[in-house]
Amino acid sequence: MKRSSNYNTKQREAILGYIISLSGAHVTAAQITEHFAKESVPIGRTTIYRHLDKLTRNGAVRRYTTDGISGACYQYINNSENCDTHLHLKCESCGELKHAECEMLRQIKRHVSDQHSFEVNPLKIVLYGKCEECLNSV
């Protein structure tokens, strides 16, 4: 993980602090902008995008391109978290993104590696479908 030279600016601290405070939840760039606008601490879009880009590239946050209209999602990576067993389930009905701890992820990774000569990056898997609530409410 390359630590690019970073100045300690108000904005950097605010953005990183906010993402960390979400404890793993996902946010879009727009949501971050909105959050700081509400706090009367407006931070320019540009700055937010540049920090997200930097944080993504040095591994502090992950970027998800979920199916949808509202742009990419970003998520802080807690290093103590066991990422190898972390699965994402996005409901196509209500749009909610759920997390699931799942041993099967390791099996998938091994299988795809053995059978398909492809090294899966388990951090970016998003499965689409329908969540329990939406299934029951039909």
Partner DNA sequence: TTGCGTGCAAAGGTTTTGCATGGCA
Partner DNA sequence: TGCCATGCAAAACCTTTGCACGCAA
Indicate which of its own copies, DNA, none lies near residue 21 (CB less than 5 to 8 Å, by partner kind): none
Closest C-alpha to 126, from 101, 99, 93: 99
Q: Contact with its own copies (CB under 8 A): which of 30, 41, 94, 127?
A: 127
What is the rounded CA–CA span in Å between residue 18 and residue 24? 11
**Which residues here bind DNA, judged by CB under 7 A?**
5-12, 28-30, 42-47, 49-51, 53, 69-72
**Contact between 112 and its own copies per CB under 8 A:** yes
Output the DSSP codes for 18-44: HHHHTTT-EEEHHHHHHHHHHTT----
How far apart CA 107 and CA 100 sit, in angstroms, is 15
Interacting residues toward its own copies by CB under 8 A: 65-68, 87, 89, 91-92, 98, 100, 102, 104, 107-108, 111-112, 115-121, 124-132, 135
